[in-house]
Amino acid sequence: MGYKITLIPGDGIGPEIVREARKVLDAVGKKYGHEFDYTEILMGGCSIDAYGVPLTEEAVNTAKASDAVLLGAVGGNVGNSKWYDVAPNLRPEAGLLKIRKDLELFANIRPAYLYSELKDACPLKDEIIGDGFDMVIMRELTGGLYFGERHTESVNGVMTAVDTLTYNEEEIRRIAIKGFEIAMKRRKKLVSVDKANVLDSSRLWRKVVAEVSKDYPEVEVTNMLVDNCAMQLVMNPGQFDVILTENMFGDILSDEASMITGSIGMLSSASLGKTKLGLYEPSHGSAPDIAGKNIANPIATILSAAMMLRYSLDLDKEADAIEAAVAQVLKENYRTVDIMSEGMTQCTTTQMGDLIANHLA
Ligand code: NAI
Ligand code: MG
């Protein structure tokens, strides 16, 4: 079957890592009989150079007309690039905010998975790591404190700042449904994280999650307070499958979870909306310090492509095959420089892509 994929290589290492992900997708397509039809669009600094804006309407329309979008990264050296001597809405990262908004991507998923081969890179003790961990954090992305009304004013001569944390039940319901759908594709365990002992918005969150859970009787649901969750992540990370939470809690918890996996070059992400169309990208940025050297780790982007197959195209076994190929290459001791350690075989960006693609052949 044929699928329309929009590719956004972007800036810095973006084109190098997207090229390897495409190589791996082509290998999967060949093996399982799928046709991936790619259209490349410009976003970020490269679009500024070509069109004067970080993302054109035409590019957005191309993305909207596709089945899924795979992004490398955008942006340059912030302290030392002509792209930043302009208003914020004309800078490279504005392209990213625009595409998330235009595609209405309200759910951000970040997996935190520990490869047994990379245990040394995990800062936790062996007895805590145990058999490892494999979780995804599902963070609400377009509501809550970051989008609530805010102002700063002088109240009786004392400067006072106000931020408001607002959620309505529709916003909670749509992210909860995404969370349960993802739990159904995994180990069917969902922990909903809130601060219901203090916040009204959390009490509403809990109520709506309980309602949605009735449509997913196979999923085991528990509630956890956010402060406890922060503690549990470093005490017993193996207990988690899907963590579902609001915007700010998810921002903080996903950074905490990513740190216990080792390298940023391994971490994928997905942003999903109401439809199947999602945006998939590595968690890292454009790494201008190593761009053009063919040393960047392409695995985060390759794993993002696997998420794209699973969540936008419903190609579960193809996604599993990519993940297995990545694990196999690590087992064979191949490492890019960011995850290199003694006794391993160092390889380039291109070689890593070739090795993973060859495992799929
Ligand atoms: P960064 O993630 O690009 O780099 C941080 C450090 O990690 C650097 O030392 C880099 O060399 C290393 N690194 C990142 N990805 C790697 C990979 N795949 N393999 C090996 N090493 C890797 O973050 P930084 O330096 O703060 O930002 C650089 C640019 O990226 C900025 O313009 C920033 O705005 C942009 N950015 C873009 C994002 C996106 O497009 N979604 C997300 C984060 C940052
Ligand atoms: Mg963050």
Q: What's the pLDDT tens digit per position in 123-180? A: 999 999 999 999 999 999 989 998 889 899 999 999 999 999 999 999 999 999 999 9
If asked whether residues 155 and 227 sit together in one domain, one would say yes
Provide mean pLDDT across the span 189-215.
98
Contact 14, 295 (CB under 8 A): no
Q: Report the C-alpha gap between 104 and 271 in whole angstroms.
A: 9
Contact 66, 5 (CB under 8 A): yes
Catalytic residue status for 195: yes
If asked whether residues 132 and 251 sit together in one domain, one would say yes
Q: Report the C-alpha gap between 206 and 194 in whole angstroms.
A: 8
pLDDT of 255 reads 87
Measured in Å, residue 3 CA sits from the centre of ligand 2 at 32
List of long-range contacts for 304-307, beta carbons under 8 Å, 24+ apart: 304/21, 304/70, 304/268, 304/269, 304/270, 304/280, 305/21, 305/24, 305/25, 305/70, 305/280, 306/268, 307/109, 307/111, 307/268, 307/269, 307/270, 307/280
- pTM: predicted TM-score of the whole model, two decimal places: 0.90
Length in residues, the chain: 361
- Average model confidence (pLDDT) for the chain? 95
Determine the distance from the C-alpha atom of residue 216 to the mean position of all C-alpha atoms in its chain, rounded to a whole number: 24
Measured in Å, residue 93 CA sits from the centre of ligand 1 at 12
Catalytic residue status for 215: no
Domain boundary, last residue among 260, 278, 295: 260
If asked whether residues 241 and 131 sit together in one domain, one would say yes
Q: Are strands 134-140 and 150-155 parallel, antiparallel or unpaired?
A: unpaired
| Closest-lying ligand 1 atom to the alpha carbon of residue 72 | 40
Provide mean pLDDT across the span 279-287.
95
Those residues whose C-beta lies under 8 Å from the C-beta of residue 247, and which sit 6 or more positions away, are: 139, 140, 141, 142, 143, 144, 145, 146, 147
What confidence tens digit (pLDDT) does each residue in 59-87 have?
999 999 999 999 999 999 987 788 998 88
If asked whether residues 255 and 270 sit together in one domain, one would say no
Catalytic entry in 146, 185, 188, 354: 146
Question: Which amino acid would we find at residue 317?
Answer: K
For residue 202, the domain's CATH number is: 3.40.718.10
Ligand 1: residues with CB < 6 A are 73-76, 78, 93, 96, 264-265, 281, 284-290, 296-297, 300, 338
If asked whether residues 279 and 205 sit together in one domain, one would say no
Helix (H, G, I), strand (E, B) or coil at 21: helix
Which of 16, 19, 284, 304, when mutated, tests ligand 1's pocket best, judged by the most ligand atoms within 8 Å of its CB?
A: 284
If asked whether residues 251 and 127 sit together in one domain, one would say yes
If asked whether residues 281 and 243 sit together in one domain, one would say no
Counting beta carbons within 10 angstroms of the beta carbon of residue 286, is it exposed (0 to 12), middle (13 to 18) or buried (19 or more)?
Answer: buried
Provide mean pLDDT across the span 3-31.
98
Measured in Å, residue 109 CA sits from the centre of ligand 1 at 18
Catalytic residue status for 316: no
Domain boundary, last residue among 212, 227, 260: 260
Q: Which one has a higher pLDDT value, 348 or 121?
A: 348
Q: Is 251 a known ligand-binding residue?
A: yes
- pLDDT reading at 248 higher than 90: yes
Q: Report the C-alpha gap between 177 and 213 in whole angstroms.
A: 8
Of the pLDDT bands very low, low, confident and very high (cuts 50, 70, 90), residue 1 is confident
If asked whether residues 139 and 251 sit together in one domain, one would say yes
Catalytic residue status for 338: no
What confidence tens digit (pLDDT) does each residue in 217-244 have?
999 999 999 999 999 999 999 999 999 9
Catalytic entry in 37, 255, 314, 316: 255
Those residues whose C-beta lies under 8 Å from the C-beta of residue 228, and which sit 6 or more positions away, are: none
* Helix boundaries (H) for the chain: 14-32, 45-51, 57-64, 92-102, 126-129, 169-184, 200-213, 226-235, 247-259, 299-311, 316-331, 349-360
Q: Report the C-alpha gap between 241 and 97 in whole angstroms.
A: 28
Domain count, the chain: 2
Q: Report the C-alpha gap between 240 and 78 in whole angstroms.
A: 36
Measured in Å, residue 347 CA sits from the centre of ligand 1 at 20
Question: Which amino acid would we find at residue 69?
Answer: V
Q: Is 295 a known ligand-binding residue?
A: yes
Report the interhelical angle of 200-213 vs 169-184 (nearest 10°). 50
If asked whether residues 34 and 84 sit together in one domain, one would say yes
Helix (H, G, I), strand (E, B) or coil at 188: coil
C-alpha closest to that of 280 among 310, 315, 252: 310
Q: How far is CA 101 from CA 255, 273, 329, in A?
A: 22, 10, 36
Percent pLDDT > 90 in the chain is: 86
If asked whether residues 229 and 273 sit together in one domain, one would say no
pLDDT of 101 reads 86
Q: Is 316 a known ligand-binding residue?
A: no
Q: Report the C-alpha gap between 221 and 232 in whole angstroms.
A: 16
- pLDDT reading at 306 higher than 80: yes
Identify the domain containing residue 184 by its residue range: 123-260
Of the pLDDT bands very low, low, confident and very high (cuts 50, 70, 90), residue 258 is confident
Contact 68, 280 (CB under 8 A): yes
If asked whether residues 244 and 274 sit together in one domain, one would say no
Q: Which one has a higher pLDDT value, 352 or 258?
A: 352
If asked whether residues 302 and 248 sit together in one domain, one would say no
What confidence tens digit (pLDDT) does each residue in 74-129 have?
999 987 788 998 888 899 999 998 998 899 999 999 999 998 888 888 899 999 99
Q: Report the C-alpha gap between 6 and 146 in whole angstroms.
A: 29
Q: Name the strand (E) or helix (H) holding 135.
A: strand 134-140
Radius of gyration of the chain (CA): 21
Q: Is 255 a known ligand-binding residue?
A: yes
Domain boundary, last residue among 260, 291, 308: 260
Provide mean pLDDT across the span 264-275.
92
Q: Report the C-alpha gap between 330 and 113 in whole angstroms.
A: 14
Structure tokens at 95: 């392209």
Determine the distance from the C-alpha atom of residue 118 to the mean position of all C-alpha atoms in its chain, rounded to a whole number: 20
